[in-house]
Structure 1
Amino acid sequence: MIDPEAILYYADNPVDFVEDIIRAKPDPNQRDILNSIAKYPMTSVRSGHGIGKSAVESWAVIWFLATRPFPKIPCTAPTQHQLWDILWAEIAKWLRSNPVLSNDLIWTREKVYMRGYPEEWFAVARTASKPDALQGFHADHVLYIIDEASGVRDDIFEPVLGALSTEGARLVMCGNPTKITGFFYDSHHKNRAQYSTLHIDGRNSSRVDEEFIRTIIEMFGEDSDVFRVRVAGEFPKALPDSFIAMEWAEKASEGEAPDIERVLRVDIGIDVARYGDDSSVLSPVLDKTVQDQPQVYHHNDTMELAGRAVQAIKAYALAHEWAAIYVKVDCDGLGVGVYDRLAEQKEEIIEAVEVDRASRYEDEDPDKIPPPFHLEVLECHFGGEGGRIADDDPIEYQNSTGLMWGAVREALRTGSLHLWYSDVQISQLSNRKYSVNSSGRIELERKEAMKKRGLSSPDMADALALALHDPVVSDWSLEF
């Protein structure tokens, strides 16, 4: 139990509380945040990634619970993952390592409360999914914690504004500045005078890995929104960025394709047209490094396209006899019919290729005979689950569309892919925009938005993205 006289001191000195009682060492940026919370009713912090904001929020929760009588601390974030797996887990970590605090403050999955007062003296976790998430908290001492505040809808904030009219109520908002509209944005712009605002650039934080910063600069550039949001802690530019730089696509399309002595893998991406003006495209890539000429078809039905795919498979099996062939079909919409037909014919195709080879290699030296023909027909979905291209990638994508296009982007950025020259393909690759969403993930512009800008569906680019994609099992998801 903390000495009552010490509590009176610590109530106005959260940095000393964190150092003396929690036994943590805040860095200068974290000290500024804690001091702002103690001094001002409303604090808004925009920052880059990895500056330790979850830690400072957890310290603020513990400090407020331990130094005020019967406080209430509603905590919210846009997702359960951010709220429970990160913030709430951080609170648990600091309590668990401190017998003095853990004896009095009881941690549960959704609430932290003072022993003996679970309904009157607590912090509670509420995801920001409903307008009433932050309603109904009445006490002399209220502290609202809003994590990843850019992603919280404006209607969630409305009850907070009413509660803040009560003396002793405080608000803390923290997050990557991912949106140029909304409550959090306004707190740093038109409503700035009402807040204590702090800006933390990741380059000025000892907690941010310099390799992370270098990687972001190398991958996206210092003028990109990814750098502005994830490193510099600045709001995005008014206009979104193109996901793939035109100069990368142009450079990859220049000159002759490099020779491959023996192709060991052929990936064929098949994007199936869903609308009258769109095209169906077969995009072959050799050894993930050289794109062969895409095949573009208009106004064909799924059985005709499946037949075209069978022809392509057999042609590449003949031209590159040592290669395994992987066919990736977009199964959103009409593509499922093409996939089903190819899957149905898979063994028949393999048998036809083997019969042809047997006749041509009948009297050949066994060492010169290619291996058994390997064919895979894979189901892909552009609306599937997102994630990282590689385990050490500092950027996550919202869905599999981003992952697929991200693989193309990385190949073009690093110069590891030679493209078949096509002005249409270059235009499609370089005209798609992206944004950094409220979870800090990259989200590509939807096709509907592209069409509103007067652009056609990026069918050639999608087919290329399918060719470079390696689905684990299935990309199926209900997220579109």
Structure 2
Amino acid sequence: MLTRDAEAAYRQMPRADRLRLARGAPAELRPHLAGLERRLQAQERYMYRPAAWAREVLDWPEGQGVTPYQGDVLDALPPRRRVAVRGPHGLGKTGTAAWVVLWFATTRDAAGVDWKVLTTASAWRHLSVYLWPEIHKWARRIRWDVLGREPFSELSELLSLNLKLVHGAASAVASSKAELIEGAHADSLLYLVDEAKVVPDATWDAIEGAFSGGRMDGLPEAFALAISTPGPTSGRFYDIHRRAPGLEDWYTRHVTLAEAVAAGRISPDWAQQRARQWGEDSALYANRVLGEFRAADEDGVIPLAWVEAAVERWLAWDADGRPPVEGRRVLGVDVARSGGDATVLAHRHGHLIVELVVHEREDTMQTTARVQAAVGDEDTGLVPVVDSMGVGGGVVDRLRELGVPVLPYTGAARTKVRTRDGEWGFTNVRSAAYWRMRELLDPAFGAELMLPPDDLLLSDLTAPTWDVTTGVPPRIQVERKEDLVARLGRSPDRGDSVAMAFWAESLAASTVHSPAHTAGRSSAAASRYGRTIGGGGTARTGGRR
């Protein structure tokens, strides 16, 4: 084996001199020199050609390969240094990011360059669940004979969230730890920002600091790749794509739906179905299918970004082993009104919707039995809030007959509830319930709500619009359910069940009906259920009680 100094000297030789030296080397050194030569040739061929690296170094199954737009993104990185990519869900963003990390690590290490890769994302889950497992997957498909080295050792080199080679390392860093990103130093640096749409500005500023000493040719050098589905029209990722002053040195790439369909990455049927499911004019469709920045409509009740943040909190809770959450236990029940609708049970515990349980084509007696079973015979404190309009009224009546404490929810009823600031009233309970969801999800007030990852739920909560009627006080009117059904082509069952679950505090305890001695329940039990909701009178949202 060569010493480190001898290997460094060998690297500096012209290729013809290296080959002459290798031919005359002792037999025991020739395999080592041959491998070193292959690494040097790979370094020379791929050092600044990531697209060629992906095409030729990765072992591709028949019919698969780098798409044209992925090749554009990869080839833009060496000359442009800062590349930001947005596009639809499913175009292969995480795979592209994994290739970049592996290309950078293998070529810099082969060149003997001091290198470092920092990977970050809007949420730690994107790193631990998506990006780094993707890096592991593609590392198993590297053609090591082309690179002239042994496969990564999973004991000492390719770890769960790290890649440690001879001359550098790649690591995962939380986007909230800007100081760790700012402290990175190496002759060759790469920053990989996955799901970049909501990464904090401080992280972007820390990344930019690395470019202050970088050169466009030679070392030191710095590169940054930011890749994401777009989100609201705010934040640094959005500013980069709108070419805000001072950010023009970023190269931006919008991968269109048509490009992804042509590359076989997205099915046109999937896109058409999402248009029907979410609505072509919705922010959800614009972000995830068109790859365009779009906030919720100006007249939308709840911004999409707020709901997505609640989903991220749910996913973090789930990844943490689902620790217990304190607070009221409520079951929001939206009862199906027709054959095309679904009965949805939203299981709420404190500020958490644990799960949504959906039942198709179920009669009211089956729904009643499910609610009764969820409440159980023991005094668990769970109170069902059941939509009492239409066929739901039969479920409420039957639950009362069975002695099950129930809070009937009547969306069309009047309410004295006002907005958090007390300035606005509401035309009806449904308007107030959806506005309460808005207030509970508002990040300006320390939102804690956690919502399960359900695309229909996201659509249901973000689709309704609102208007204001005159009067004293002026009143907020949320889009009528009938109008929303006509616009979406379906009933917002999931959104309604969740809104009902979080409306329980605003229902008077006197509306909890439970006969004193039916179905084995006592008046004391009924009283305990009443206290669970918290007293008589009409409560106001947001703590104005």
Answer yes or no: same fold by TM over 0.5: yes
Q: Is the Cα–Cα contact under 8 Å of residues 277 and 456 in structure 2 kept in the other structure?
A: no
**In structure 1, distance between residues paired with 2:495 and 2:209:** 34
Match of 1:223 among 281, 306, 318: 281
Identical-residue share of aligned pairs (%): 24
Over 3 Å counting, the alpha-carbon distance change for 1:158 and 1:458 in structure 2 is: farther
Q: Which residue of 2 aligns with 1:132?
A: 179
Alpha-carbon distance in structure 2 between the residues aligned to 1:322 and 1:12: 64
Structure 1: give runs of 5+ residues left out of the alignment.
245-271, 275-280, 292-318, 343-348, 354-372, 389-394, 410-422, 432-441, 448-456, 460-479
Distance 1:377 1:92, change over 3 A: farther
| 8 Å CA contact 1:176, 1:230 repeated in 2 | yes
Match in the other structure for 1:54? 94
- Distance 1:443-1:99 versus aligned 2 partners, 3 A rule: farther
Q: When the two structures are superposed, what TM-score results if normalisation uses the length of structure 2?
A: 0.50
Residues 324-359 of structure 1, C-alpha deviation per residue, up to 9 Å, x if partnerless? Answer: 44549999xxxx9672999xxxxxx99996xxxxxx
Quote the RMSD (CA, aligned, Å): 5.0
Match of 1:91 among 135, 142, 165: 135
Change (3 A) 1:290 1:424: farther
Name the amino acid aligned to 1:386: P
Residue 339 (structure 1) aligned to one of 380, 383, 398: 383
Structure 1 residues 329 and 321: CA distance shift in structure 2, 3 A: closer
CA deviation profile, 1:377-420 (whole Å, cap 9, x unmatched)? 89xxx8454122xxxxxx375xxxx59859x99xxxxxxxxxxx
Give the corresponding residue for 1:254.
none
Q: 1:193 to 1:424 in 2, by over 3 A?
A: closer
**Inter-partner Cα distance in structure 2 for 1:430 and 1:46:** 33
- Unmatched 5+ stretches in structure 2: 1-34, 215-220, 303-327, 343-362, 387-396, 408-436, 438-448, 465-475, 485-493, 500-504, 508-541
Structure 1 segment 223-302 matched on structure 2, within 5 A: 223-237=281-295, 239-240=297-298, 242=300
Which residue of structure 2 lines up, in the alignment, with residue 79 of structure 1? 123
Secondary structure of residue in 2 paired with 1:386: coil
Is residue 36 of structure 1 aligned with residue 76 of structure 2?
A: yes
Which of residues 112, 124, 130 is equivalent to 2:163? Answer: 112
CA distance in 2, matches of 1:290, 1:180: 34
| CA contact 2:399–2:406 (8 Å) conserved in 1 | no
User: Do the aligned partners of 2:278 and 2:456 also contact (CA within 8 Å) in 1?
Assistant: no
* Native 8 Å contact 1:324 1:374 kept in 2: no
Which of residues 148, 173, 195 is equivalent to 2:226?
173
Return the alpha-carbon distance in structure 2 between the equivalents of residues 149 and 443 of structure 1. 28
Distance of 2:71 and 2:334 partners within structure 1: 55
**For the structure 1 residues 239 and 321, does the alpha-carbon distance in structure 2 shift closer, same or farther, using more than 3 Å as the test?**
closer
Aligned residues: 325
Question: Equivalences for 1:145-224 in 2 at 5 Å?
Answer: 145-167=192-214, 168-189=221-242, 190-191=244-245, 192-205=247-260, 206=263, 207-224=265-282
In structure 2, give the amino acid aligned to 1:84: S
Q: 1:3-28 CA distances to partner (integer Å, 9 max, x unpaired)?
A: 31231121121111111112342100
* 1:193 partner SS: coil
Residue 123 of structure 1 aligns to a residue whose secondary structure is: strand
Residues in 2 aligned to 1:405 and 1:44: alpha-carbon distance in whole angstroms: 30
**What residue in structure 2 maps to residue 3 of structure 1?**
39
1:374 Cα deviation (Å)? 11
Secondary structure of the 1:127 match is coil
Deviation at 1:113, TM superposition (A): 1.9
- Asked which structure has the greater RCO (Cα within 8 Å, sep 6+), the reply is 1
SS at match of 2:192: strand
Structure-2 separation of matches of 1:283 and 1:18: 50
2-side partners of 1:162 and 1:19: how far apart?
32
* SS in structure 1 of the partner of residue 253 of structure 2: strand
**Code of the aligned partner of 1:220:** W
